[in-house]
Structure 1
């Protein structure tokens, strides 16, 4: 009896669900946010103390360089900080007290101006509506049944008047009165005391805290970890101290400007402007509102208000776009989107104090992410450094068919490197990624054609750049480079000409740039032809189809003195390269042939049929230049012999 196997059951692959590691990371994130929210009463003073320690750390170091011991230096720095805070509080208190006496008069003036503005704008709206209604009534012939309006029901006229009710609070006892007066003061005093004490201990035990952090995060290289942490601490200290100085300068300029404009209590508004400028983006706007309202209450017209608006519109852009870039450098290291999102996040967690601390806390997280490998995602999420390398960014622009953004990136990188270096380190590697995707079948013909067109457009746009190293820009540090720029090697020495070239090598088509078999080798040959032209070598390109077995006999070889074959992606030494070189030698006997293999296999050997093998475009140009100079020298020797 033949047994028949039961049919296999159809199986449906279940949808993927988050793994244990992803769920654990999510749980850690949720618990961390909840802990930050629930422990805000403890964490806010500690964060303020850490911020104060970063600000006072350069002051302590300065006092120690003046031969003052560590403990007196810390105490003196804290006393100076408290004295400055006390002076500012005293100035603000006296200014507010003097302003409060004239507040009723200012309120009457503001109401009068608002009433005048309403009467001249919105107040005319009822009259306009009434006139429009009368015109409509005349056009329609009047109402057919006019409605009689009654002032009110008669029952309301005969109703008895309501009884007056008065609510009186009992007098407070002395203890309750003392509690009501001291309660608003005790909280800030407690917070200030905690901040000062914690900041003093942080400044005194700075090295010990650094060692404990190294122990917590671990260190396979103690020297590099210590250097990184010291560098991060010094950068944060300089940034916070510089921010305090810039905001103080901003407040001084605003206070002086308001004094000359004639706004009452200018010192109060100057101090308030300096403090509110710690709030990202919205701080200067909030600082401008009180003096603007006061200017409207003081001046007989609106001229003083316009002067206040002009003062803030002039000073804030100068501070934000001129002074800060000169002091901080090109960037503070934070992404603009990260600054906004972090401001919303920390305000939601800790309220107004969180808004003030949002930028310093975000900067601390970014610095931590740059030096701790496990926290690198913080730098990627919050930092302003590019998330993609120049090669990846170039390939992404080519896939999107956007050569304009690729041109912007190219011009940024060409500020400190030559054109051939940019082609070798960015364009060629990006085209190799595209060729690899094409061979794997993930890049269809439409996208491949888009990459070709975008790359050709970029090459055409870069035709005006010389292949030479640009001079270093003034005022920029040579070692300050972004993450994307650090992914590129330093630019090589420029290609120098030793001997002048003859007219034959400068003629069009002296070097035949032959494209390989790859899908993007024609783009590589176009780049090589452009670089050869920039070094006074005449060139023209030929596709792989033009040098095929069937069409190579029809190839125009008049004036060809050398051949350069380009392969963007070639693993090993395939047979089609050897046959191509054999056909070229047969068609152009005695003409030197240079092969550019930008990506070589591990076991690849130099082709015996090629005179030179280059590993990049720069080597290719140097080989062609050497061949041309040698040929020109031979021609000159021959002419000298005949002479």
Structure 2
């Protein structure tokens, strides 16, 4: 009896371990597949994210009587216009700074020459640690000569292909988003499932659109403030640094850290003093602190607040998988996952009444649109039998 019980427990543990191993292998394979399919999936996911952001604009155009295909085309043209104007504004200051890089680098080297003694002390400490740990092996670094022009020429077709996939995917997503939603709801087998799925669709659209539009407004404000700050401290090309701060602010943590480093190097190279590099960096951190702790939470509200640790994990994964594009979709992907989880496992977080009413109305319209149009045939009724008349009683003679 005891042997049978032990064998049963062992088989149960072995079965659980096998299931866990299968799930782990599936997750690893999915991660690798997502990373390897970057050329196709990255622009596609970015198009869906941008499409959710510009969805209200397309809805506004459709309410004015424009067909879906035309409204989607106008939104794509508007986005192209913004990208071209932004690239033209960036081109002039960037070309100017490309010519000034040697001068700035000489000033940075001159300032670094004053730090030789601390660096030498650190080097001596490193040698002592190596001698104590017995690490006498030397590392040889070889730099292979490669042509930058050849590398750019090899990357250009891939970049153009990804841009083409992004624009085409964005257009078709905006033009057919209602059809995709109704077709998905039609696959649900019950009205309750259709109702819940419609709420997920509308909640995702509302949250992602609100988040991206709010963050875009906040980033424009951050860019304007950084422009004024860099102009006040005397850095050249303040518009360039303001625009760069607005763009990098879409990527949490990493974008701000990179912008602070850029301001430090530009300030150090322009003024030739350590204080000149630390001042704009410190002011930028102050602007970012106010924006991250007071402005953005008040504009988004508590319903859009996400744990910073979850944001960091999502950012780490997507940047590992897709690079800068992954950094742009890290937070929207969390919002999508959060909306799905909250409808599967409802929480106590209550959205604003106006938002709940709007989501419910749109979900009801989507559910009604996904209902089958043709009613099922009614069962045939059995023919009525004629009642037999009873024979009349014979009259008495």
The CA deviation string for residues 488-508 of structure 1, in whole angstroms up to 9 with x for no partner, is xxxxxxxxxxxxxxxxxxxxx
Q: Does residue 312 in structure 1 map to residue 284 in structure 2?
A: yes
In 2, Cα distance between equivalents of 1:68 and 1:319: 38
Hey, what does 1:102 align to over in structure 2? 100
Structure 1 residues 180 and 318, CA gap change in structure 2 (3 angstroms): closer
Instruction: Tell me the equivalent position of 1:49.
Output: 47
Which residue is equivalent to 1:238? Answer: 210
Identify which of 7, 14, 18 aligns with 1:17.
Answer: 14
Residues 1:356 and 2:328 aligned together: yes
Q: Check the 8 A contact 1:74/1:200 in 2, yes or no.
A: yes
Please give the alpha-carbon distance, in whole angstroms, between the structure 1 residues aligned to 2:355 and 2:52.
23
1:274-325: per-residue Cα shift (whole Å, max 9, x none)? 2222222222111111121111111153343232023212210111111111
Residue deviations 1:256-284 (CA, integer Å, cap 9, x gap): 31122221222222222222222222221
Counterparts of 2:311 and 2:5 in 1: how far apart (Å)?
46
Candidates 33, 36, 44, aligned match of 1:35: 33
C-alpha separation in 1, matches of 2:59 and 2:260? 36
Task: Describe the SS at the equivalent of 2:191.
Answer: coil
Counterpart secondary structure, 2:43: helix
More helix by share: 2
> Closer, same or farther in 2 for the Cα pair 1:71/1:21, shift >3 Å?
same
Shift of 1:17: 2.8
The equivalent residue for 2:164 is 193
1:270 aligns with 2:242: yes
Distance 2:288 2:272 in 1: 27
Deviation at 1:326, TM superposition (A): 1.4
Distance 1:12 1:46, change over 3 A: same
Which residue in the other structure is 1:207 paired with?
178
Unaligned stretches of 5+ residues in structure 2:
124-144, 357-397
Question: Post-superposition shift, 1:85?
Answer: 1.1
Look up the match of 1:88: 86
Q: Does structure 1 retain, via aligned residues, the 8 Å contact 2:251–2:328?
A: yes
RMSD: 3.4
Q: 1:10 to 1:224 in 2, by over 3 A?
A: closer
Deviation at 1:200, TM superposition (A): 0.6
Q: Does the CA contact (< 8 Å) of 2:248 and 2:259 recur in 1? A: yes
Query: Distance in 2 between the 1:38 and 1:298 partners?
Result: 42
Q: Secondary structure at the match of 2:45?
A: helix
Cα distance between partner residues in 2 of 1:124 and 1:272: 37
Alpha-carbon spacing, 1:335–1:181, altered in 2? closer, same or farther (3 Å): closer
* Equivalent position to 1:301, from 259, 262, 273: 273
Would the aligned equivalents of 2:219 and 2:249 in 1 still touch at CA under 8 Å?
yes
CA shift, 1:28, in A, is 4.1
Counterpart for residue 364 of structure 2: none
Q: Distance in 1 between matches of 2:332 and 2:229?
A: 29
Within 5 A, what are the aligned runs for 1:522-541? none
- Displacement of 1:225: 3.4
Q: How many equivalent pairs are there?
A: 329
Higher relative contact order (CA 8 A, sep 6+): 2
CA distance in 1 between counterparts of 2:274 and 2:260 reads 15
Partners of 1:315 and 1:9 in 2: CA distance: 69
Cα 1:114–1:62 change in 2 (3 A) is same
Task: Flag the structure with larger Rg.
Answer: 1
| Residue 364 of structure 1: how far off its partner (Å) | 1.4
Q: How far apart, in 2, do the equivalents of 1:285 and 1:209 lie?
A: 39
Of 192-201 and 54-63, the range deviating more from structure 2: 54-63
Q: State the match for 1:79 in structure 2.
A: 77
Which of 243, 256, 280 lines up with 2:252 in the alignment?
280
Matches within 5 A, 1:134-213: 182-213=153-184
Alpha-carbon distance in structure 2 between the residues aligned to 1:308 and 1:22: 51
Whole-angstrom CA distance in 1 between matches of 2:321 and 2:333: 13
Distance 2:338 2:2 in 1: 53
Instruction: Name the CA distance, whole Å, in 2 between partners of 1:230 and 1:10.
Output: 56
Task: Note if 1:113 corresponds to 2:111.
Answer: yes
Hey, what's the Cα distance between the residues in 2 that align with 1:232 and 1:122? 52
Could you list the runs of 5+ residues in structure 1 that have no partner in the other structure?
1-7, 127-167, 380-384, 390-415, 417-475, 482-643
Checking the alignment, whether the CA contact within 8 Å between 1:251 and 1:273 is kept in structure 2 is yes
Residue matched to 2:131:
none
Cα drift, residue 180 of structure 1? 6.0
The alpha carbon displacement at 1:356 in A equals 2.8
Following the alignment from structure 1 to structure 2, what is the Cα–Cα distance between the partners of residues 125 and 200? 56
| Post-superposition offset of 1:196 | 0.8
- Cα 1:18–1:259, aligned 2, differ >3 Å: closer, same or farther? farther
**TM-score with structure 1 setting the length:** 0.46
Aligned partner of residue 212 in structure 1, secondary structure: helix
Instruction: List per-residue Cα deviations over 1:101-143 (Å, max 9, x = no partner).
Output: 2222111111111112335x557999xxxxxxxxxxxxxxxxx
* Residues in 2 aligned to 1:205 and 1:31: alpha-carbon distance in whole angstroms: 31
Map 1:439-450 onto structure 2 (within 5 A): none
Deviation by residue 1:149-186 (Cα, 9 ceiling, x = unmatched)? xxxxxxxxxxxxxxxxxxx99xx9xxxx8x76643322
